[in-house]
Amino acid sequence: MSASLVIQTSFIGDTVLTTPLLAQLANRGPVDVVTTPVSAALLAGHPAVREVIAYDKRGEDSGLGGFLGMVRRLRATRYDVAFLAQGSVRSAALALFAGIPSRVGFSTSGGAWLYTKRVAWRDDLHHAARLLLLARPNGREPSPEELRPMLVPGPDERMAVDALLREHGVAPGDALVALAPGSVWGTKRWPYYPELAGTLTSMAHVVVIGGAEDTPLASAIRSASPGAIDATGRLSLLASAELLRRCAILVTNDSAPEHLASAVDTPTVALFGPTVPDFGFGPLATRSAVLGLDDLPCRPCDRHGPARCPLGHHRCMRDLGPEIVAERVRALLSNREPVA
């Protein structure tokens, strides 16, 4: 039975979208994953993964010494094939010097010249589908069921969420609406989360999720809606996925929480400004909606989203009013199913 290595050291969302690939490879044999320390915690306990190997390429594993140390660790396992879900030259070199005979990645990647097999990049597919095609020599596109990512929160994550909700008086069966106002890229941040929260408090508990860096955004939401629960910086990524699993809906920017929600199949309203779902990063939850201003000639302006609007007006987000988003949230809430 062949052993596979997946190297995915990109962003958190990319790691989540790699899980369909991991599930497919697990049907063939053991699968190990090299990823960032943050994403390593996210994949803890995942049934498709034998071992998660944290590679802190910007910290303790930085430089030539860290690279060679990781090479030695990987070489000891004798993998048959490496799938380069992250396409840098460093990732490709890691697989090459680890002595992995088969190295598969996208033909457009920076490290493609070090691969033994190059797979065409498909602009017309969701990124989860693109990644899954790395392991499909026949090029068969995945079904929606095969495409959906999966995370597996454990007892520790459930206990953490139980404690948070108990602290704020949320009873079992109460409706929860999650808001994710943050993003690493400034222009991806929709500015009207406080106004939206004010309209939702009469129909559900509002909970704000994100990292500690998003706490100022949560404070603004709580100022407009004092009953909102601030969970920013309180939970691990995997516990945040467990919290989202219990929510009736998530409203999010084009950022990592969207993919966490897809992995636990929470209905999602995703707000796209400088980017568009056609880049391959839209929500994959069974019930979801994407909102954006399709008639703006300047949109999209960037593959990720610049720190500031290049034209200075940020209309892609500022002209997407809270009433439009609230209407879509209400529509999804009206078909809400209880979460155990």
Each domain of the chain, given as residue ranges in start order, spans: 4-147, 155-333
The pLDDT of residue 338 is 46
Mean pLDDT over residues 269-276, rounded?
A: 97
**Phi, psi torsion values for 268, nearest 5 degrees:** -135, 135
Percent above pLDDT 70 for the chain? 98
Average pLDDT, the chain: 94
Banded model confidence at residue 336, pLDDT cuts 50, 70, 90:
low
At 170, the amino acid letter reads V
* Mean pLDDT across 151-169: 96
Cis peptide bond N-terminal to 300, omega within 30: yes
pLDDT band at 246, cuts 50/70/90? Answer: very high
137 pLDDT tier (thresholds 50, 70, 90): confident
As a whole number of angstroms, the distance between CA 89 and CA 110 comes to 6
Q: Does domain 4-147 have CATH number 3.40.50.2000?
A: yes
- Choice between 274 and 304, residue whose per-residue pLDDT is larger: 274
> Are 4-147 and 155-333 the same fold in CATH?
yes
| Per-residue confidence band for 203, with pLDDT thresholds at 50, 70 and 90 | confident
Q: What is the pTM of this model?
A: 0.94
pLDDT bin (cut points 50, 70, 90) of residue 337 is low
Task: Find the mean pLDDT for residues 281-296.
Answer: 95
Domain spanning 155-333: which superfamily? Glycogen Phosphorylase B; (3.40.50.2000)
Q: What is the mean pLDDT of residues 241-254?
A: 97
Is the distance from CB of 71 to CB of 98 less than 8 angstroms?
yes
| pLDDT score of 202 | 86
Alpha-carbon span 283 to 302, nearest angstrom: 19
pLDDT of the residue at 340? 43
Q: How far apart, in Å, are the Cα atoms of 340 and each of 20, 184, 263, 265, 301?
A: 25, 32, 17, 13, 41
Please, which pLDDT band fits residue 1 given cuts at 50, 70 and 90? low
